[in-house]
Amino acid sequence: MRRTFKFEAVIFASLLLCSGAGIAQESHVGNLTGNARRGKALYQRYCIFCHGPQGDGQGESAPYLDPKPRDFTKAVFKCRSTPSGTLPLDSDLYNTISRGVHASGMPSWKPLLKQERTDLVAYIKTFSPLFTEEKPGMPIVIPPEPPDTAESIQRGAGLFQSMNCWSCHGKDGRGHGPSAATLTDSKGYPITPFDFTSGSRFKCGETNQDMFRDLETGLDGSPMPSFADAMTADQRWDVVHYIRTLNLHNSSKKNSKLKAVMKAQ
Amino acid sequence: MKLKSVFVLVVIVVLAVCVALFPRGAGAADANASIKGVVKFEGAAPKLTRIDMSQDPACAKGHSSPPTSEEVVVGGSGGLANVVVYVSDGLTAHDFQVPQQPAVLEQKGCQYKPHVLALQAGQKLDVINSDETTHNIHPIPNNNREWNMTQPHGMHLEQTFAREEVSILVKCNVHPWMRGYIAVFKHPYFAVSDKNGDFELKNLPPGTYTITAWQEKLGTKTQKVTVGAGEGKTVEFSFK
Amino acid sequence: MNLSRISMQLLTLGILLAGAGSAYGIPAFARKYGLPCSACHEAWPMLNNFGQTFKDNGYQLGNDRDAPIYQDPGYWPIMFRTTPLWHRESNNRQAIDKVPGDPSSGLVESSVTTSGFDEGGIDAITAGTLYNNISFFIQPFFGNNNVTLAQAWARFDNVLGSHWLNVKMGRFELDEPISQERMLTLNNTGGLYYNYFFTPQGDDNFFQGIGFPQLGVEVLGRSDDDSTRYSVAVVTNSNGQSGLPSSNRYDLYANFNQSFEAPWFGRQQVGVYGFFGESPTYFLTSNGNPIPGTGQGNRGFYRMGAYGHWYVNKLDFYTFYLHGQDNVFLGNSVGSNHPELLPAGAVSPRWNGGFVEGHYNPTPRWIVLGKYELTRMSRQANPGIRDNAGNLDTWTVGYRWYPIMSPRAGLAWTQEFSRVTNAGAAPLSGRDDSRSSFLMGFDFDF
């Protein structure tokens, strides 16, 4: 008799616990577990003046920043390894904090301890109820990069045209395409497409793998869409190879590849 | 052992009572009232600006004459099109079946067809690209997940919206003139007025309802309507 | 050291709050980046690791707001700091005339107390980047009825694209184990690092301590996250005085530290440092007057030791140890050209010293601190010097509260109490001489 009641009590207790009442948000990055309470103290020291006390990007410094600080309450993030429209992984947020964001006011927070950055991720997730209601998207898999051949670059050039990349990024990749002047981010602030001639200071990382990932996940909150279904993985690599040739600061070795492509065309 | 089976019996009884007390909504035998009507625009129809689609020849190709913007579309007899009319208050049921049929949004001539689409939360949205160019579909919701997908000609795209929202702006960043709206509802009592401004909300259970009409530029208007079982009522909305 | 035994006595004259060097947080940087003071400062002026990395990187965050060309033309990389305060100083054993105004009445030892409103001088600092990876720092100080140039240097950062090579030149604060330019205390009694300025009794060494800005070249290198750092400075042996007043020799300073992350506790840092140099013991003269810059008879000295910075969540501690030695000629103020003038039993003086400073920093707006420091001569320069001459013990307690800390400016309220006891230094009785100081005031940083 006693055993039966205990069974029911255990079920009841587990249901209560699972309801999420009073559970602090946690984050997991590598083998570290982050705690939102510790993250809150860190947030108030480092983040609050740009991202705001409510995490809505309305900090005291926000009116003087362009691009604006991220609004965490919307749970929409540019730099993810998950499909467009889904929540990022904890490690995505951790990487953004560590790397910083080029061409913005977000510095690299690498001098903070790994544990501190993990705690911050846990606290940031408390700003939006979506993090408790939904799971992050399935992380994409980045396949090995095929060789950077002239054929790949040529195919990439063709895709740059047919996928309408040029309408925002411009035919030469300078970011002055015909639609560029009309672009706004999802908050309505003007936003400019990346100027590929300027180098590799992309917002979400500088490597080819980062570029591939950006093409597949899109940069949510901005006009940059996901090409997950529009192109195959090989085609995305072709576009990456082509984009690399647009960089005017490339070494001569890299530029000779571009010359080969131009000749072939 | 005996106590466990008593517990199970109690659970079954409670469930049965719940089912009895809370109606399942759509499909119930006495839900055949309807509210229909027309949305009118007062005054002269506003002049709509012409859209310059020369940026993409594939877009201009689909139009014999340059198309106009679709912000305020007034029909021949003063009917206002693309108004979302829906029940905003008064429903007692809470669970509604999600239709199996997908709602379809087509990109044709580099415009969204329909310009305003209404569907149920959880209902599949099929997006079709009939143009010989690549679009991206970028809904910018406040209460739903934002996503942004590139869609070349012929690619199939399917998405859903999980929460009610009136309405979500849909943009194409490649073709900046493209604007559409998607209204998402938990219940099936909504309609979008056609080119004459006509709409009909069908299969309503009897009751007193607040009906709201939403237009993308002109705002919202509400009215209260009471319908009995099987009754059909007519209402009119007027925007300026 | 009993707090309840506080007796207010007079501070010895002539020491204004500016003497040991100033301390600052730089709101100009907060304005440039939109970050709050607390991002770089544990509690300003004390730096946290993020701020130290920013400084080591040449005041560059690595995002686009670094470059001067992106700045609003209305932005000036300049800050001002002033500290109006009220303080009370007392000295328990000072020699005063028995009858004021009458030197023939004889001296007696008495306690002397002064108090009132005062100011700590004005720091004006302009610092930042001239260009990508070229940074600068200019710090004039207005105080003591004078304007002095505390620091003025330029630096090539990340030479050859590497964090391991940064070259600074000019007049600069050494890469001190624990920065006394960014100390949390304002008072001049226990609120400075005595070990950074200590010279034994009877010693006339040109070099006066690692706390003084020096003139020279510094090479600093660090790992990407600033966990490993080294710095080596070669400075002219004039103790930072310009005009080449000393002898044509160079001193060497080196500092190395390593930090690591201890689970549950936080960042811990350990380091070693050393200052090695030579100072002149006599000068060429003209009509008996020494000619500046012609120092002769250079003799060696060193200061070296180890230190640590320990974190236990919101508590952190500095621990510091110093061992110093000056050559026998320096220690006895005798030119090496007259060894016969050395007193019998003359040796090179040696001493040890150190401090422990603890902070409790519950939020960025509060810090409570306590420090205990001591020096002990282990060997006096000659038997004629009292064994404990120069030994001192000092402690400080205090707190700072930061009601305003915006990306534009900052305001702090501070109260400090400190006491320093110099062994056997009372002028008449030879007993210990104690000075205590109570200070409170505002710290305005714009």
Chain C residue with minimum CA distance to A45: C38
Asked whether the beta carbons of residue A85 and residue B7 sit closer than 8 angstroms, the reply is: no
pLDDT at C224: 86
Residues of chain B in contact with residue A231, where contact means CB-CB under 8 angstroms, are 150
pLDDT at C410: 87
pLDDT at C272: 98
Asked whether the beta carbons of residue A4 and residue B1 sit closer than 8 angstroms, the reply is: yes
DSSP structural state of residue A76:
-
pLDDT at B61: 83
Nearest CB partner across the interface for B152, out of A163, A220, A223: A163
The band of C10, judged by pLDDT with boundaries at 50, 70 and 90, is very low
Q: Which of B59, B148, B172 to mutate to test the interface with A (most CBs of A within 10 A)?
A: B148
Alpha carbon separation from A189 to A2, A66, B56, B74, C125 (Å, rounded): 64, 9, 25, 31, 36
Rounded CA separation C402/C334 (Å): 50
DSSP string, B7-44: HHHHHHHHHHHHHHHS---TT-TT--EEEEEEEEE-SS
The band of B19, judged by pLDDT with boundaries at 50, 70 and 90, is low
Q: In chain C, positions 64-83, which contact chain A (CB-CB < 8 Å)?
A: 64-65
Asked whether the beta carbons of residue B146 and residue A186 sit closer than 8 angstroms, the reply is: yes
Query: In this model, does residue B31 exceed pLDDT 80?
Result: no
The band of B169, judged by pLDDT with boundaries at 50, 70 and 90, is very high
pLDDT at B117: 96
User: How many folded domains does chain C comprise?
Assistant: 1
Rounded CA separation C21/C119 (Å): 14
pLDDT at A263: 65
Q: Is B6 exposed, middle or buried (0-12, 13-18, 19+ CB in 10 A)?
A: exposed
DSSP string, C57-113: TTS--SSGGGSGGGS-TT---EEEEEEEEEEEEEEEEEEEEEETTEEEEEEEEEEEE
Rounded CA separation B162/B131 (Å): 28
User: What ipTM goes with this model?
Assistant: 0.82
CATH of A150-264, one of 1.10.760.10, 3.30.505.10, 1.10.1490.10, 1.20.1090.10: 1.10.760.10
pLDDT at C122: 84
Q: In chain A, positions 129-168, which contact chain C (CB-CB < 8 Å)?
A: none
Compute the C-alpha angle A37/A38/A44, nearest 5°.
95
Q: What number of C-beta contacts closer than 8 Å exist between A and C?
A: 73
pLDDT at B10: 67
Asked whether the beta carbons of residue B146 and residue A229 sit closer than 8 angstroms, the reply is: no
Nearest CB partner across the interface for A110, out of C225, C266, C406: C225
Give yes or no for C106 touching A (CB within 8 A). Answer: no
pLDDT at C72: 66
pLDDT at C428: 87
Asked whether the beta carbons of residue B138 and residue A5 sit closer than 8 angstroms, the reply is: no
* Site of tokens 């001296």: C107
Query: In this model, does residue A9 exceed pLDDT 60?
Result: no
Q: What percent of chain C has pLDDT over 70?
A: 92
- Chains that contact C by 3+ CB pairs under 8 Å? A
Asked whether the beta carbons of residue B173 and residue A223 sit closer than 8 angstroms, the reply is: yes
Nearest CB partner across the interface for B173, out of A85, A168, A220: A168
Chain A touches chain C, with at least 3 Cβ pairs below 8 Å, answer: yes
Query: In this model, does residue B225 exceed pLDDT 60?
Result: yes
Query: Is A119 in contact with A36 (CB distance < 8 Å)?
Result: yes
Query: In this model, does residue A247 exceed pLDDT 80?
Result: yes
Q: Which residue has the higher pLDDT, A12 or A86?
A: A86
Spatial CA neighbour of B176 closest among A229, A177, A189: A177
Rounded to an integer, the average pLDDT of A182-194 is 92
Give yes or no for C269 touching A (CB within 8 A). Answer: no
Residues of chain A in contact with residue B148, where contact means CB-CB under 8 angstroms, are 84-85, 218, 220, 222-226
Query: Is C312 in contact with C353 (CB distance < 8 Å)?
Result: no
pLDDT at B65: 83
pLDDT at B27: 45
pLDDT at C4: 40
Query: In this model, does residue C8 exceed pLDDT 60?
Result: no
* pLDDT per residue as tens digits for the range C290-316: 999 999 999 999 999 999 999 998 899
* Phi, psi for C362 (deg, rounded to 5): -65, -40
* pLDDT per residue as tens digits for the range B52-85: 888 888 898 878 888 999 999 998 788 999 999 9
Q: What percent of chain A has pLDDT over 90?
A: 70
Query: Is B167 in contact with B182 (CB distance < 8 Å)?
Result: yes
CA distance B23 to chain A (A): 26
Residues of chain C in contact with residue A50, where contact means CB-CB under 8 angstroms, are 34-35
The band of C359, judged by pLDDT with boundaries at 50, 70 and 90, is very high
Residues of chain B in contact with residue A229, where contact means CB-CB under 8 angstroms, are 149-151, 155, 157
Q: Is residue C4 part of a domain?
A: no
pLDDT at B219: 92
pLDDT at C73: 65
Domain span at residue C361 reads: 9-445
Lowest mean pLDDT among A192-206, B185-199, C177-191: C177-191
pLDDT at B20: 53
Sheet containing B103-108, strands listed edge to edge, beginning at the edge strand earlier in sequence: B111-113, B103-108, B125-129, B157-159
pLDDT at C2: 40
Q: Which residue has the higher pLDDT, A25 or A195?
A: A195
pLDDT at B30: 67
Rounded to an integer, the average pLDDT of A132-151 is 92
pTM over 0.90: no
pLDDT at C1: 40
C-alpha A39 chain-centroid distance: 21
The enclosing H or E element of B212 equals strand B207-215
The band of C188, judged by pLDDT with boundaries at 50, 70 and 90, is confident
Topology, domain B2-239: Immunoglobulin-like (2.60.40)
Average pLDDT, chain A: 87
Instruction: Give the pairing type, strands B179-185 and B116-120.
Output: parallel
pLDDT at C129: 87
Q: Which residue has the higher pLDDT, B12 or B160?
A: B160
Give yes or no for A58 touching B (CB within 8 A). Answer: no
Give yes or no for A109 touching C (CB within 8 A). Answer: yes
Asked whether the beta carbons of residue B148 and residue A220 sit closer than 8 angstroms, the reply is: yes
DSSP structural state of residue A184:
B
Alpha carbon separation from C9 to A129, B161, C2, C115, C437 (Å, rounded): 61, 77, 16, 9, 8
Rounded CA separation C102/A82 (Å): 88
pLDDT at C355: 96
CATH class of A24-133: mainly alpha
pLDDT at C3: 37
Rounded to an integer, the average pLDDT of C98-105 is 91
Query: In this model, does residue A234 exceed pLDDT 60?
Result: yes
Q: Which of C33, C35, C366, C367 to mutate to test the interface with A (most CBs of A within 10 A)?
A: C35
The band of A5, judged by pLDDT with boundaries at 50, 70 and 90, is low
Beta bridge partners of C119: C84
Domain boundaries, chain B: 2-239
Domain boundaries, chain A: 24-133, 150-264
Residues of chain A in contact with residue C407, where contact means CB-CB under 8 angstroms, are 49, 60-61
Asked whether the beta carbons of residue C38 and residue A46 sit closer than 8 angstroms, the reply is: yes
* pLDDT per residue as tens digits for the range B189-201: 999 999 999 999 9
Rounded to an integer, the average pLDDT of C129-139 is 90
Lowest mean pLDDT among A57-71, C54-68, C253-267: C54-68
* pLDDT per residue as tens digits for the range C361-385: 988 889 999 999 999 999 999 999 9
- Domain harbouring C217, CATH code: 2.40.160.10
Query: In this model, does residue C16 exceed pLDDT 50?
Result: no
Q: What number of C-beta contacts closer than 8 Å exist between A and B?
A: 88
